[in-house]
Amino acid sequence: MEDIKVIALLLTIFLPAGAGTLLIFFPKNWGSQIKWFSAVISGITLAITLYIFSVYDYEKGGFQFEGSYNWLTQPININFSLGIDGISTAMLLLTGIVMFSGVLLTWNLERRVKEFFILFMFLLSGVFGVFAVRDLFFLFFFYELAVLPMYPLIGIWGSSSDFGTFLRTKEYGAMKLVLYLVGGSVLVWIGIIGVYAASSDFGTPTFSLETLSVISEQGAFSHDFQLFFFPLFMIGFGILAGLWPFHTWSPDGHVAAPTSVSMVHAGVLMKLGAYGIIRVGMTILPEGAQDWMPALIVFGTINVIYGAVAAMSQRDLKYVVGYSSVSHMGIVLMGIATLNPMGMGGAVLQMFSHGIMTALFFGVVGIIYERTHTRDITVLGGLAKKMGITVSFFAIAGMASLGLPGLSGFIAEVLVFVGVFQEYVPLAILGIIGALLTAVYILRLLSRAFFGPLDPKWEDLKDATPREMGATSLLVFVLIFVGLWPAPLMNVINSGVSDLLSRFVGL
Amino acid sequence: MTENIHLLLPEALLAVLAIKVLAIDLFLPVRFKDLLVWISALGMTGILVFSIWLLWGIDTPLYGGLVRADGFTLFFKGFFLILGIVTVLASRDYVNKHLKNPGEFYSIVIMAILAMSIMASAVEILTAYIALELMSFSFYILVSFALNNPKSNEAGLKYILIGAFSSAILLYGISLLYGAVGVTHFDSIAKEISNAMENSDSFSPTLWVGMGLILVGLGFKIAAVPFHMWAPDTYEGAPLPVTAFLSVGSKIAAFALVMRLFGQAFAPSIDQWQMIVATMSALTMTIGNVVAIAQKNLKRLLAYSSIAHVGFMLMGIAALSLIGIEALILYLVGYALSSMTVFVGLIAFYNMTGRENIDDLGGLAVRHPFIAAAIASGLISLGGLPFFAGFTVKFYLFTAVGTQGLLWLAGLAIFNSLISLYYYLMVVRQMYIEPSPEWAKEPANDVATKGIQKTMDRIEHKPTLLITTVLTVLVLGVVFVGIYPSPILDMIKSASQALLT
């Protein structure tokens, strides 16, 4: 039984990578075969993540699905060790869902199809890898693997945003994104080497997160060490999570990226950042985390407000969504910084729910853009009359984003803000104001772009095709399901969160 | 003194092979000149197999301690022979098309390989120096091999002048060192140095000046900042396969020598030179990377990138220890594989188009997907992103340096990796995102009208099977080291243990 579990976890990593490798040998002109193949693979992957989610025993908690394979022996000691707790389980499920609907929404791609799916598969392999491994080397390996394909994916298939005085080319977005993310990984890398070197005073040096967290409890890392090294992880991973003031890559990169890449990127990759802070920073260096959390919560609050204000003044539909991601990731960061079960649980749920909701946003924007070839809010108008279903899906994502009860975003935000209230009352109020601003830009967007009188040039627009509807309604279903019955997901998340927070008891 | 002289047979055979290729060339009709490639390649393969059989598990000094046959020697001998085979095979098309006198070309390549093998096995400073000179002379000729190309001649001249200058400095350093310690064997030098360190009475400033000059001389040979100025010009002017061989072969051989010298002879005084080497390394990687950003010509870009990589390699010397040397050798392997992948890809591109600017690569991913993918994986590997050798070897090296108390240097190196990624990605961008340039769109239009001439052109617009095969092997190697380095690392362990015990 345990074997099957480990194999399932291994498959999430190696199935996409293997499929990507196989795709290299597909003939170039097999467009639809390549798409079908990718859809089947991502469908299987989604099924596997569902299996993992359902089998994970949240009552037992802790790390499950464990397996370890020796990769390099002495003197460096690197093991390919796997293992997931409640937090990673939720993230794996999120990745599976977004991947599947992302592939379905890429069906109309005609140009260089083969290369696209090869890169896409390797990207997903990297994302799954980060969530599934328990070794710093491999965590970093997969983290960088997830960054690498972004450059060609955005550069080749992306779209530029051109409003005369405001021009952001896709090449610019791609390069900015890669340099920011690798820049973040510079800090993380230094941190990893520092931790590794410090662990050598406590037996053999190791990259194993398991061993590191054990020796950390025994006091292997001095307080000063933690105080110095935690910010490396906080800012390094924070850049990927859209931490203000290092968030600017995120709107530019997401806008330039093609639909499914924006979905995966905003939906899942940004969560890698928050996950990294939790998994690496807080697990290994709890004392440093304790001391730095006030800074993180201040930055998180700025994120929430700044992202919302910036989103209000955008003309490009995708930029609105991009900045709303910055704002919502701020809520995640605030939740993490509370260090109490409410806030942390809310943060992880927000990671999940924001992933689904942003994927839905970008998916729907992609559907609209494919038909109208513009994302200019001032040009679009009255689309609801022609694309009723598409627009209603967008509206659902919007409602989830502004925290309407009954959708997953509401529960997550309530938990986070209750958590923050217990620790920092003024910031909680500011954060709630920021979250309320979401309503302003979402409703403004809906009225400007989708409702109101129909522009005659959009007379011929067709609504979403059944395949597109299938892909988006999967996301809608998850939003509503979690909103109405969060218990299955929250149980799993809380088991992970309570394990994590037990490290902070008595600090 | 000569009882185990047979262990030098591989070197003797290499010399014989070099001369044989030269001699056969005299009698070979022009249309059979391709045979020389196969004689050289198969000859080196044979010597490789023979050396492994002969030297496996042997650890002994030869020739009264001038050279040593141990794991380190065997590893690098194998490394250089494989490099030689790859170089010879990859340069066939280029030599046929752009250079005269193929016999001399291959023969000198083999001669350089011979010199490199001796450099890796020398444990006496004059033997090492002579081997270094043999290698340098081979490269002086190779760099100026394109006789009717003024750039190549200029490059050759610059290289000879700088080479002679640096050899003089090196030799002066050696003589001062000899004056101070009175011995030339590495192990005796180490003893003398540790004696000198223990009792300050016999402490002599000559020793430090001598060591300093040796460092400067070797700094020129490996193109470390501030002694790197010759490299970009020489790289740009030299014929492409020679640039490849120069940037990979000469550096690795020089580092094999530096490892022996610093790891065996100068090891006792590590506290004195560690900071100097670390500073040199920091300067080299930073300046190499920053200047590379501004380059338009691919060869110059790769020259500066190789300077930057020398900076990374010097970290391994600064962090002298078992793990440091292991990481350095692994880094050399990764660098050689990635660099050769890029260069062989560029040779294939140059054979097809005769162009070598970064702009010329536009749209290559559409026209020749495999070559573009190969160059891109080589470049990304050099930039240190995963799935390719570059990530794994960098991670190993930086970790090793970090554990040796040089975390600041490792941090700087990581930051430098980020800078380097920018210019590598700019090349990738040309190949994958930019459209094809005008000149690339012409052929294939009117095949019928121009008849045979046009057909000839079309054939040359495809890479040959040989170079595609070489490229495939290299790409697989880059990926293999990137995801499963442990077999290579096992071999490296025997080499590094032989060096430091």
- Amino acid letter for position B241: P
Exposed / middle / buried, residue B229 (Cβ in 10 Å: 0-12, 13-18, 19+)? middle
Can you give the pLDDT at residue B202? 58
- pLDDT of residue A228 exceeding 70, the answer is yes
pLDDT in tens, B23-75: 988 888 878 888 888 989 999 999 999 988 988 888 888 888 888 888 889 99
pLDDT in tens, A8-65: 888 888 989 899 888 888 888 887 888 888 889 999 999 999 898 888 888 887 788 8
Contact (CB, 8 A) for B250 and B135: yes
Choose among B322, B410, B484: nearest Cβ to A75.
B322
Q: Is the N-terminal amide bond of A245 cis, ω within 30° of 0?
A: yes
Choose among A75, A152, A186: nearest Cβ to B323.
A75
Contact (CB, 8 A) for A472 and A362: no
Counting residues of chain B whose pLDDT is more than 70, the rounded percentage is 94
Can you give the pLDDT at residue B334? 93
Tokens 């046009």, residue located: B454
Contact (CB, 8 A) for B496 and B329: yes
Can you give the pLDDT at residue B452? 45
Q: How far is A127 from chain B (nearest CA, A)?
A: 13
Q: What is the pTM of this model?
A: 0.91
Please compute the mean of the pLDDT values over residues A81-104 and round it to a whole number: 89
Please compute the mean of the pLDDT values over residues B269-298 and round it to a whole number: 89
pLDDT in tens, B90-99: 998 888 888 8
Q: How far is A128 from chain B (nearest CA, A)?
A: 15
- Chain B positions touching A122 (Cβ under 8 A) are 387
Please compute the mean of the pLDDT values over residues B232-261 and round it to a whole number: 91
**The token pair that represents A372 in the structure block:** 């109208």
Contact (CB, 8 A) for B25 and B36: yes
Can you give the pLDDT at residue B1? 59
Q: Where along chain B do its domains lie?
A: 268-501
How many Å apart are CA B160 and CA B171, to the nearest integer?
Answer: 16
Please compute the mean of the pLDDT values over residues B176-180 and round it to a whole number: 89
Can you give the pLDDT at residue A128? 92
- pLDDT of residue B414 exceeding 50, the answer is yes
User: Is B422's Cβ below 8 Å from some Cβ in A?
Assistant: yes
Confidence category of residue A210, pLDDT binned at 50, 70, 90: confident
Confidence category of residue B451, pLDDT binned at 50, 70, 90: very low
Q: Do B486 and A137 touch (CB under 8 A)?
A: no
- pLDDT of residue A203 exceeding 80, the answer is no
DSSP letter string, A272-313: HHHHHIIIIIIHH-HHHHHHHHHHHHHHHHHHHHHHHHHHHT
pLDDT in tens, A318-364: 888 888 888 889 889 988 888 888 888 889 999 999 999 999 988 88
Count of CB atoms within 10 A of residue A369's CB? 18
pLDDT in tens, A268-303: 888 888 999 988 888 888 888 888 888 888 888 898
How many Å apart are CA B225 and CA A143, to the nearest integer?
Answer: 33
- Chain A positions touching B410 (Cβ under 8 A) are 190, 193
- pLDDT of residue A399 exceeding 70, the answer is yes
3-state secondary structure of B146: coil
How many Å apart are CA B374 and CA B380, to the nearest integer?
Answer: 10
pLDDT in tens, A456-501: 777 777 777 888 888 888 888 888 888 888 888 888 888 888 888 8
Our measurement of the distance from residue A1's CA atom to the centroid of its chain's CA atoms, rounded to an integer in Å, reads: 30
pLDDT in tens, B123-146: 999 999 999 999 999 999 999 888
Least confident range of A80-94, A203-217, A288-302, B450-464: B450-464
C-alpha distances in Å from residue A373, one per residue of A163, A277, A369, A448, A498: 14, 38, 5, 17, 47
Q: Do B385 and A183 touch (CB under 8 A)?
A: no
Q: Do A186 and B415 touch (CB under 8 A)?
A: yes
DSSP letter string, B40-95: HHHHHHHHHHHHHHHHTT--EEETTTTEEESHHHHHHHHHHHHHHHHHHHHHHHHH
Q: Where along chain A do its domains lie?
A: 2-504
